Amino acid sequence: MAKSVLVVGGGPAGLAAARTLGKLGIPTILVEKEQKLGGRPVIEDYHTLIPRKMTPQQVIGPFIEEVQNNPNIDVKLGVELEACEGEAPNFKVKLSNGEEHEVAAIVVATGFQHFDAKRKGELGYGIYPDVITNLELEQMFSREGKLYRPSNGQLPKRVAFVFCVGSRDRQLGVTNVHCCRYGCALSGLQGTEIREHYPEVDVFCYYMDVRTYGTWEYPFYWAPQEKHGVRYVRGRIAEITYNPQDGRLRVKHEDTIVQRPAEVPMDLVVLVLGMEPSEGTKKVAKILGLAQDPDSQFLVPAEDAGSNIISNKPGVFIAGACKGPIDIESSLSEGEAAGAEAATFIGAKVSA
């Protein structure tokens, strides 16, 4: 009987699961669609991760190293899960490179993808170069190390963050009604970074709610306002236009506290994107027959399981952003939990 585990996805959750399994001495196959381990944070060059304010290399780097150096883990890059037959603990899986393996358990960590801001046409993304996404702002920090307006390369005088683009929005259908969960905190962090490096730049956050969960409240909501002077305006931006006379954007919104419409000039507008289940998540869900949320298509845990890493199918465990928006810290711990759960499921005896 096969006693190995398949981990689908090489992002934070998948890495953490594989690392735990490898450490327990269980033969593990880690398949990753991209040519690089680390998932979105590494592939898309995030600058600073919430909530510990560390770089992806600092957080995920050690995981990648341990996974690559562990002889129990077989890392397959550029490979996807194509088919799966049989029941636990005898899954027969087929990979895109033609290989077939027998595994006793599967950990699904297929992650998310960023919302496509072009779907919110009124916000002018793709039309005005100075409307960027928070992902692009992260890449601007990490790849170029400076803040500038894409239209003319100069330092913006005012930066506006638009919260909840592609999340909590029924106009996009039922698929995007959930909270993206990281946006408020990340905007606070990005605003703080801007104010720290460029104190002359004014930062505005246009929000409909601020949801900085739990202990994130102080570092990502109060500190930006109290220490760094980030300004929060209640009222979401409805429309972004461009004024050719002064070359600045105009953001149109109603300030719901003052109860007045406003059209304020801005130099750079940052759209805070929501999360959607990745193509891989939808594909794997179909192959393995996992339960999906009827609205958002994210994976959902089994109804009778208290733990949210146990899927509806015995022997299959789900971790990370494939089952809803999640931060990297929790993604790592969920991966570890899923790895440990898979180990106990296959009845591995770990000797000291």
Partner 1 sequence: MAIHERSLVDPERVLRKERLVIDGVDVSGDWNLIILPRVINDYDLEFLDEVLQQPEGKTITQCYQCSYCTASCPVHNYWDERYNPRHFIYLARLGLIDELQKRADVMWRCVSCHKCTHRCPKGVLVEEVLKAILRVMAKRGIIEEYPSKKFDKFFLESVYEYGRIEDGELLFGWVEKQGYQVVKDPILKKPIPFVGGVPDWLKQLAAKPLKSMNIGFLVLNAKHMLFHPRTKNWNRFKQVLRKVMEEEGVFTH
Interacting residues with partner 1 (CB under 8 A): 202, 221-222, 225-226, 229, 231-234, 255, 257-258, 260-265
Q: Which is nearer to partner 1, 260 or 349 (CB)?
A: 260
Tell me whether residue 101 or residue 231 sits nearer to partner 1 (CB atom): 231
- Closer to partner 1 by CB, 66 or 254: give it: 254
Closest distance between partner 1 and the C-beta of residue 147, in Å?
A: 18
Q: Tell me how far, at minimum, the Cβ of 93 lies from partner 1, in Å.
A: 51
CB 274 to partner 1: min, Å: 24
Q: Toward partner 1, which CB reaches closer, 177 or 238?
A: 238
Cβ within 8 Å of residue 309, ≥6 positions away: 301, 317, 318, 319, 334, 337, 338, 341
Of the two residues 63 and 221, which places its CB atom closer to partner 1 in the complex? 221
Supply the minimum distance, in Å, between the C-beta of residue 120 and partner 1: 22
Q: Give the separation between CA 242 and CA 88, rounded to whole angstroms.
A: 58
State the number of CA atoms in the 13 A half-sphere of 304 facing the CB.
Answer: 3
CB of 243 to partner 1, least distance (A): 11
Q: Which residue has the tokens 């298509």?
A: 297
Task: Report the residue number, 113 or 242, with the smaller CB distance to partner 1.
Answer: 242
Q: Which is nearer to partner 1, 74 or 254 (CB)?
A: 254
- Calpha distance 350→330 (Å, rounded): 26
DSSP-derived pairing of the beta strands 105-108 and 112-114: unpaired
Preceding amide of 150 cis, omega within 30: no
Question: Helix, strand, or coil here: 267?
Answer: coil
Q: Are 16 and 331 in contact (CB under 8 A)?
A: yes
Q: Give me the least distance between CB of 255 and partner 1, in Å please.
A: 7
Task: Residue 32: name the closest of 83, 74, 76, 65 by CA.
Answer: 76
Helix then strand then coil, % of the chain, to nearest 5: 30, 30, 40
The helix (H) or strand (E) run that includes residue 345 is helix 328-345
Which residue, 173 or 199, is less far from partner 1 as judged by CB?
199
Max intra-chain CA distance, the chain? 73
| Token reading at 148 | 């500038």
Nearest-angstrom CA–CA distance, 213 and 201:
27
Minimum distance, C-beta of residue 176 to partner 1, in the bound complex (Å)? 27
How do 260-266 and 248-255 pair as beta strands? Answer: antiparallel
Closest separation in Å from C-beta 315 to partner 1: 47
